[in-house]
Amino acid sequence: MSAWESAEERARALIGRWERRSLGVVRAEDAAEFARAAGESDPRLVDPGRADFMVHPMYVVSLLRAAPGAAPAEFRPDGMYRDEVPGTDGLDVRLMAGGQHVRWLGEVRVGDRIDVRRAVTAVERKSTGFLLLTVEKAYGTEEGTLVEVTERFIVR
Amino acid sequence: MTDQVQFVQPVELTPDAVTLLRFGAVTRNAHRIHYDTEFARSEGLAGPVVMAQLHGCLFHRAAAEFVGPGGRVREVSWQNRAPAYAGDRLVVTGEVRSVDPARGEITLDLVERCGPEGVVCCRGHAVVIPPQDGDVVPL
């Protein structure tokens, strides 16, 4: 079985299995740094000292890990996290982002402790020679979900 | 109602290698396709590529600027169509697809073009909710 076929088999076995990870507590300085790195100039997004400071809505959904980051063993040789794309851990496959659909149900605020839950919901074998994995994610606090994301990964 | 098309004002960014390093650091994204030229080429790319989430930020900004202060971006969606490389000028444009007065929502079609030839690198949409007394004029 090729690495590509192994990834498909593993991903199919993961369909509907939800897992949870903590993204830690949202800090104003980190959210502001994110906004600056994204090229924002709106003072409400880049100046954490303002009374009307807002966490950039894309911040938590762009964050792959919480502080203090990951241990060396958690990375693939390509630098991606071993568990970032479900089913691909340890396999010699190429990974690309396919796109996202982000839906905001509420506002992420400074001090929120954010968890993300995720599950594979679809695995498609494309005739052009790659797998398309669909992963549903829900970001939120103990009080409920704040952001939902449908993310697609290309596995070649 | 009018059939006049409402356009989204262009939003642009030219992320260079430094931008990508900063964005990757703050999001803890260490994927080598974003900073390692030799590795990116081994993956069939012309060089380090822009992160998907950075495309998403530009789509969000285009939607947020369209709806203006007091408005809200409810959804943003994008599909990657072609890689955008470090140093490429990215421009997101768009237009109003539909207005739903009952839900108070406006749906925008958005497209991002990159590089000197304006290759389409992402397509998507956004759903925004204008402020009740805002300056967005429904179609």
In B6-137, which ranges are continuous DSSP H helix? 17-27, 37-42, 52-67
Q: What is the CATH number of the domain that holds A129?
A: 3.10.129.10
The closest CB to that of A94, out of B29, B43, B76, belongs to B43
Q: How far apart are CA A113 and CA A101, in angstroms?
A: 22
Is residue A146's pLDDT more than 70? Answer: yes
Question: Residue B139: its pLDDT value, please?
Answer: 36
The minimum CA-CA distance between B132 and chain A, rounded to whole Å, is 18
Find chain B residues with C-beta within 8 A of A39's C-beta.
13, 15, 19, 57-58, 61
Q: Range of A58's domain? A: 3-155
Which of these, A115, A122, A114, lies nearest to A151 by C-alpha position? A122
Q: Which of A41, A42, A64 to substitute to test the interface with B, most B CBs within 10 Å?
A: A64
Nearest CA in chain A to B19: A37
| Averaged pLDDT for residues A67-92 | 93
Give, for all 139 residues of chain B, the pLDDT tens digit: 456 789 999 999 999 999 999 999 999 999 999 999 999 999 999 999 999 999 999 999 999 999 998 999 999 999 999 999 999 999 999 999 999 999 999 999 999 999 999 999 999 999 999 997 644 443 3
Q: Is A55 on the interface with B (CB under 8 A)?
A: no
Distances in whole angstroms, Cα of residue A36 to Cα of each of A44, A104, B14, B40, B57: 11, 21, 13, 25, 11
Find all residues with CB under 8 Å of A14, minimum gap 6, and list them.
Answer: A86, A87, A119, A120
Q: How far apart are CA A61 and CA A70, in angstroms?
A: 18
Q: How far apart are CA A123 and CA B35, in angstroms?
A: 29
Give the count of domains, chain A: 1
Domains and CATH numbers, chain B: 7-15+50-129 (3.10.129.10)
Nearest CA in chain B to A44: B69
In chain B, which ranges are continuous DSSP H helix? 17-27, 37-42, 52-67
Distances in whole angstroms, Cα of residue A150 to Cα of each of B16, B17, B78: 28, 28, 10
Q: How far apart are CA B139 and CA B131, in angstroms?
A: 15
Q: How far apart are CA A87 and CA A104, in angstroms?
A: 27
B63 and B110 in contact (C-beta within 8 Å)?
Answer: yes
pTM of the model: 0.94
